[in-house]
Amino acid sequence: EAGVVQSPRYKIIEKKQPVAFWCNPISGHNTLYWYRQNLGQGPELLIRYENEEAVDDSQLPKDRFSAERLKGVDSTLKIQPAELGDSAVYLCASSPTADTQYFGPGTRLTVL
């Protein structure tokens, strides 16, 4: 069974530029999560989707971050404009039930 797929794996941009990350969850997993992991820290939830509905976006900085999951399958996370402090690893996860989450390899973002 294929795992959670994310692209790109690495992205380097200059500040004030836009950037987008893509995630394809494990087939059949209705719940999708986006996390941000700062260096030396654990992941922190940005947004959770149940199918195409964002049911928890309380930690998403809505002034510059946006996300969508239009057909309830793959998802895109966007930052516009990016700031230096956005440099981090952005992780996508999916789950089939109310419990265990499965993570993708992440996208490492560097903002110069």
Partner 1 sequence: GNSVTQMEGPVTLSEEAFLTINCTYTATGYPSLFWYVQYPGEGLQLLLKATKADDKGSNKGFEATYRKETTSFHLEKGSVQVSDSAVYFCALSAYTGTASKLTFGTGTRLQVTL
Contact 29, 45 (CB under 8 A): no
Q: Does 99 bind partner 1 (CB under 8 A)?
A: yes
Among 55, 80, 83, 110, binds partner 1 (CB under 8 A): 55
Q: Is the dihedral of CA 101, 47, 20, 68 positive or negative?
A: positive
Q: Does 1 bind partner 1 (CB under 8 A)?
A: no
Among 14, 16, 56, 83, binds partner 1 (CB under 8 A): 56
Shortest separation between residue 6's beta carbon and partner 1, angstroms: 8
Measure the CA–CA gap between 51 and 31, rounded to whole angstroms.
6
Residue closest to 43 by CA, chosen among 19, 54, 21, 59: 59
Among 75, 104, 109, 111, binds partner 1 (CB under 8 A): 104
Q: Does 83 bind partner 1 (CB under 8 A)?
A: no
Q: Which is nearer to partner 1, 76 or 95 (CB)?
A: 95
Measure the CA–CA gap between 14 and 19, rounded to whole angstroms.
10
Q: What backbone torsions phi and psi does residue 18 show, to the nearest 5 degrees? A: -85, 160
| Residues near partner 1, by CB under 8 A | 4, 6, 31, 33, 40-45, 48, 50, 55-56, 91, 93, 95, 98-106
